[in-house]
Structure 1
């Protein structure tokens, strides 16, 4: 959540941010009114409590005759204090609920617009000309089935559409990617983490996934648990309700977890293969830093993602995501999109988001610098979303005979294999 003081001091900035996101600007004024009621009700409660304490002192010194009247007044005051406390609690909750609906402030340099209004910042690698090589590229599913690596038919039989099995060399390829990603993250100073896939409501709400993103979240109603769509959620909540020493920052974690997404609103999109699925594994980088270090950490996360994709020998571009496509928590987000030959376009493989103090305020994660205690900043960056990375590797490194060249970086994690060969079934 944003700082209420900023809302009071510069409401036009918050209105501009809401407008850039394509969200309800009226929410800002509703929250300002709710904040006024919250502060007024708090002042009223404090005044009545002070009066109640003063009256208590008068009763102890009063004559018997005066005490009768004072006790009557004290009884009425007790009722008034209870009503004022209830009003204060109600006003606090009303303001809190409105505040939870408000997205993070959009960074001033973010391009304004929707999903297609991103700005390309960089392009890396060379797109292969398959025509010049004398063959038409196969898509990842055709390649994966020939390699004995992907089985979507049985995935659909067992679990429904957008589910799959990784089999044989496909399973080995996932394990290779995960181990390589964790090795890179560990070398960069991240602490490897295996995180819970089920979290309580506060963790999901605190990271901002129960607002506009709620339709894509799986909820187990009987137990009131949520299945995470990214290990960002348990990593952000790891230090919930804690005060961290400023001199121990930054804290960096690399979480590996299964991820679950309903993919609501994507009917008919990416239905073939494993590019858009309901369950997948992912390695996620997460940083806790001092607020003044957030922008530089954001660039570092992006550099680690670029290092990863370059190591996989994939052509990719870096985009500055537009304001309407940021999600509630991010003030700015960079995506790395890999070239997918059979689609003839770049598709998202990784994201790096700067959430400033938005998540930390919601989760009460603070830092102590001397005597000063304040919210810190959190950032997250995908290092390897496994299925999409497999899609990109198979399609970009395929050979004319249906085999797939293994990027040199992955070979030590695949028993030295240089090529993945088709199998006969």
Structure 2
């Protein structure tokens, strides 16, 4: 309207009036665009509070309502007073929490001597075992954009966030390799013939562990930085439930081969987290701590993450049509893939399990046989003088 009036002959006063009106409109538009960005951000935050739907067989309620799916082995019987991993680690000179607290703060640690070999052995053995099952190995970036964290269903902001954000940037430290692996195929259309895509990823993980305190979380059980091997699958929707079973089977095979006593739990709705349609946790017996502790979980996130990440696939079959046009005219529409994730080895908690379950009366610790080839043939961790 203003532009049309400006094209004709105008009195200077009227022209100036229209110029001022144009400036006001421009300023108003800037203000509206700023408000739109704020509202869009608020809408996004509200939308992220909406979790995935749950599988009809998921137990309803809090964590206490979870159902035991399977129990493997039984607690080892000791003929002596057992020690926890902190006491064992001190006597075997395996880690140093005090020095790490001075250097980095609480819930950090130094691994030393055979504990270093044990971590490396666990990682190498786990990668080797999972790769045998057709998974592609990946080492991921450990810094990702906040938007990718959000699209995977995690909250990088808020008082109780578990995510470390980098000040002055849109980046975060990862809490799990699930996030950067999920982002590999972001905004992609995959060929159906390429599915399933199976990855096994090694990374360090960083978590604020906001609110975590007390004896139940002491030592290596809950820390700010740790190494982890994570499995991740992208598949067709109709296949995701069977791949969840595959992931659980792999976890149970790994922990059984290490001789651990554990139980697999079908987690209740209140403990699923936003992305999970169904989740199974593995809790292993930790005799030194005198309780079961979570060492792994496996989740089917259906299309919750893929919708946000924009990961689709195009079915191979063609849609019947009477049109003479070929190819593009009768291609099946794209669909969102389903994503699944599972922990193959969370190193610190695995170290807790191995030290406490394989401790001997003389204070030494036996190395399970499957790990020995990955630890230079080491069979036992004995006290050292350094």
TM-score (structure 1 length as normaliser): 0.76
In 2 relative to 1, CA 94–223 (structure 1 residues): closer, same or farther, beyond 3 Å? closer
Q: Could you tell me which residue of structure 2 aligns to residue 424 of structure 1?
A: 385
Q: 2:347 aligns with which of 386, 393, 413?
A: 386
1:370-385 equivalences under 5 Å are: 370=316, 371-385=332-346
Q: Is the 8 A contact 2:85 2:355 kept in 1?
A: yes
The alpha-carbon deviation at position 125 of structure 1 amounts to: 1.4
Mapped to 1, the partners of 2:182 and 2:148 lie a distance apart of: 8
Return the match for 1:140 from 85, 94, 109: 85
- Structure 1 position 108, deviation (Å): 1.0
Residue of structure 2 equivalent to 1:366: 312
**Structure 1 residue aligned with 2:112:** 167
Q: CA deviation at 1:268?
A: 2.3
Q: 1 CA distance for matches of 2:71 and 2:289?
A: 18
Q: For each residue in 1:309-365, what CA deviation from the matched residue of structure 2 results, as whole angstroms up to 9, or x when unmatched?
A: 011111100001111111110011001111010232211001000000000000000
Aligned CA distance change for structure 1 residues 366 and 168 (closer, same or farther; 3 Å): same
Unpaired stretches in structure 1, ≥5 consecutive residues: 1-78
Q: RMSD across aligned C-alpha pairs, in angstroms?
A: 2.2
> Could you say what secondary structure the match of 1:416 adopts?
coil
Q: 1:307 aligns with which of 243, 246, 253?
A: 253
> Cα gap change, 1:203/1:91 in structure 2, threshold over 3 Å: closer, same or farther?
closer
CA offsets, 1:167-224, max 9 Å, x none?
Answer: 1110110000000010011101111100011000121011011179861110002122
Q: How many positions carry a matched residue from both structures? A: 340
Q: Does 1:108 align with 2:56?
A: yes
Matched-pair contact (CA < 8 Å) for 2:146–2:156: no
1:17 corresponding residue in structure 2: none
Deviates more, 1:94-103 or 1:385-394: 94-103
Per the TM alignment, residue 88 of structure 1 is displaced from its structure 2 partner at its CA by 10
Asked if structure 1 preserves the Cα contact closer than 8 Å seen for 2:221 and 2:352, the reply is yes
Cα distance change of structure 1 residues 375 and 345 upon mapping to structure 2, 3 Å threshold = same
Aligned to 1:219: 165
Q: Which sits farther off after the overlay, 142-151 or 159-168?
A: 142-151
Match of 1:280 among 223, 226, 234: 226
Counterpart in the other structure of 1:415? 376
SS at match of 2:69: strand
Mapping 1:141-156, distance limit 5 Å? 141-156=86-101
Partner SS, residue 64 of structure 2: coil
Q: TM-score, with normalisation over the residues of structure 2?
A: 0.84
Three-state SS of the structure 2 residue aligned to 1:372 is: coil
- SS of the aligned residue for 1:384 comes to strand
Alpha-carbon distance in 2 for matches of 1:239, 1:222: 27
- 1:220-369 pair list within 5 angstroms: 220-369=166-315
Q: Residue in 2 aligned with 1:126?
A: 74
* Kept after mapping to 2: 8 A contact 1:232/1:286: yes
Partner-residue secondary structure (3-state), 1:220? coil
Greater share of helix: 1
Unaligned runs of 5+ in 2: 1-24, 317-331
Structure 1 counterpart SS, 2:242: helix
Q: Is the 8 A contact 2:216 2:289 kept in 1?
A: no
Show the 5 A alignment for 1:28-177. Answer: 96-130=44-78, 133=79, 135-177=80-122
SS at match of 1:170: helix
Instruction: Decide whether aligned partners of structure 1 residues 271 and 159 sit closer, same or farther in structure 2, where only a CA change above 3 A counts.
Output: farther
The 3 A distance-change label for structure 1 pair 105 and 400 is same
Per-residue CA deviations over 1:82-108 (Å, capped at 9, x if unaligned) read 9xx989999987765543321000111
Aligned partners of 1:380 and 1:292: how far apart in 2? 17
Q: Work out whether 1:180 is the aligned partner of 2:125.
A: yes
TM-superposed CA distance for 1:255, in Å, is 0.6
